[in-house]
Structure 1
Amino acid sequence: MRGITLPAGTPTEVVAFVGDLWWRPNGPVEDPMAPDHEVLRRSRLRVPDTADVIVPGHGPAFPAAGTAPLWAAGAAVAAAPPRWRAPILEPRTRCRAGGAGRAGVGGRR
């Protein structure tokens, strides 16, 4: 299984962008595309120890502690606490095609 988890620190929490380590907050608990389920399980166990929020590859962000679907054997999928809200991310700056007036991420036009 190849992939990368990108942790990003904010003033209040650590957000982990995990790609396909998790597809969505509610699963699938057992990834049908994973070539090695033991590697998947070990990788999923590491993320909640370092991150507060998980951003999966195909769904909304969810809190890491106690809610992440870890693996099929004995892992319960809990609902997110009712007061939790996904972090608000700054909108991206759109770039014009071409040269003049082009803005990068965080740049000015």
Structure 2
Amino acid sequence: MKITLATTCFVIGALFAPVVAHAGDSDSDRKHAATYVKDSVITAKVKAKLAEEKLSSLAKIQVDTDNKGAVDLSGTVRSQEEADKAVSIARGTEGVTSINSHLRIKKDD
């Protein structure tokens, strides 16, 4: 009897695990696979353009795109000029509708 109850609880818990995982998914605003792919393409384009600049700090910038084409830039750069360049590169990328810059300038100690 105890084994049956334990097995039943385990099976029910295993069935609810994907539901709980999906509820915690930060990309849950993306209702369709095509939207997610489009957002990923924008993110990849911005990252590629940043990497082309051959500045190591620009290559380390994190890029995320939401379902409306808004790009979030975060991380650290060496100067305000590099931060401005990253924003300019992202702004010039096809599909980007707006930029949210959370870039910080790294102080040399």
TM, length-normalised to structure 1: 0.28
| Structure with the higher helix share, 1 or 2 | 2
Q: Which has the larger radius of gyration?
A: 2
